Structures are given as C-alpha cells and as structure tokens.
Amino acid sequence: MQIEVLDDDEALARRGAKLIAEHARAAVIERGRFVLAVSGGRNPWRMFRLLADEDVPWAGVHVVQVDERVAPAGDKDRNLTHLGECLLAHAPLRPEQVHAMPVEQPDLEAAAADYAHTLTAICGAPPVIDLVHLGMGPDGHTASLIPGDPVLEVQDRAVATTGVYQGRRRLTLTFPTLDRSRAILWLISDASKAAMVARMCGADRSIPAGRVASANATLLVDRAASAQLDRPVA
C-alpha cells in the first residue's frame, strides 16, 4: 500500500481528485474506458466536486456505486443524492454512464443480482473495476462491509445485501469484487479513525477494512488519522 499523509480534508480532496483523473486518462488510453466505483461518507464529496474540474476523458468514464442505503430516490441518506450534487451536476456525464444501485426495488436479493449483471456488462466476467474509492468508519467498516454482518463472508457474488446498520439496509460490493479492482483509493481523515487506520495498514483481518487487498491500494490520510502509524511515511 502506498501511503500519503496530507494536512487536512481539502488537501486530501485535491490529491484524490488528481489521482482519479490520472487513472482515468491512463485507462482510457489503454482500454478505451474507465470505470470508477464511488463510496459515500462525509469525506469524498469535495473530492468529487474537484474531480469535475479535472482533465478527465469523460466520454469514456462509467460511474458505479460501491454501496448504497435502501432509501427513496433523492433521500439525503442516499449516496447517489450527494454524488449527483457534487459530481454529476458538474461533469459532462450522460445518464447511461452512471449506474445507480437499484435499492428502490422491493426484492433486494434480486436488486443485488441485477447490479452484478450491470457490472458484468461494463467490466467483464467476473467484473474488474478500474478504480474503487473507499472510506472507513470508526468501527473499521468499509463500503457496507460491516463488523459482524454475514455479508463479510460472501465469496460467490459480486454484490450482496446487508442487515440493518445505522437504521438502513444496504447493497454493497463484496470483498472479491473489491480485491479484483485494478486500483483502490482510500480517503480517510479524523483522529477518531487513527487506531483503525493503523490496524488496516497492518492487514488486521478482524476489521473489515483490514481484509481488503492492499497490493494496488493508495491511502490518502490526514495527519490526525495517521497518528498511530508506526512506520515512516512521505
């Protein structure tokens, strides 16, 4: 894992936007398209707003979701709502380039299977996503891979459902899907996550974030969240 320690959220957002743009340009040159999987949380929205102003070959970009809460369209709990405000309203992406998780379907298992088919159509079988953006909660969860949830053990599906967490069920990409991605970009800040950052970087499999493959990962972390890392970083 490559680790970069930056001063604050704004620095994280700017660096993250530039890294995503670099990956997008390289992927479109090499493969003709770039598939970006986006997570929710507090941190990434500024990054995605800045990404809209970067030099990105938007015609070749597809945006998919890492996870989504089961909530009505436009609900403030939906990651898609914030993504629309921060990125989709500012970048020249056509509707067919944005692939929302179908969490409004009444049958969530069918919704997960449908989204897995969507990923296969875009990224091949099994799906290989170009870049996955991830964050991490103070409990060590990432995506909607939540401590203690049976979803942690799903190995035979690209997309799965979760139990109720913070009042909502969710759809999430599974560990095998994350691990097949060509690159992972972690964006983590805040002192409340310092202990979990250290455990994640130590590949502590007792927390979900520690189970994500790290060979092709870059961690952008602020100084507060990096406080318990025990090795020198740039």
Q: Report in angstroms the alpha-carbon separations of 206 from 60, 152, 203, 212.
A: 38, 11, 9, 11
Identify the structural domains of the chain with CATH numbers, from first to last.
2-222 (3.40.50.1360)
Write the CB contacts of 13 (distance below 8 Å, at least 6 apart in sequence): 43, 44, 46, 47, 49, 50, 187
C-beta separation of 58 from 90 below 8 A: no
Residue of 173, 180, 182, 193 whose CA lies nearest to 218: 182
Tell me the C-alpha distance between 156 and 43, whole Å: 30
pLDDT at 230: 72
Tens-binned pLDDT, residue by residue, of the chain (234 aa):
999 999 999 999 999 999 999 999 999 999 999 999 999 877 799 999 999 999 999 999 999 999 999 999 888 889 999 998 999 999 999 999 999 999 999 999 999 999 999 999 999 999 999 999 999 999 999 999 999 999 999 999 999 999 999 889 999 999 999 999 999 999 999 999 999 999 999 999 999 999 999 999 999 999 999 999 975 444
pTM, 2 dp: 0.94
Closest by CA to 23, choosing from 157, 231, 209, 216, is 216
pLDDT attached to residue 231 = 53
CA distance linking residue 123 with residue 34, whole number of Å: 9
What does the pLDDT read at residue 166?
87
pLDDT of residue 77: 87
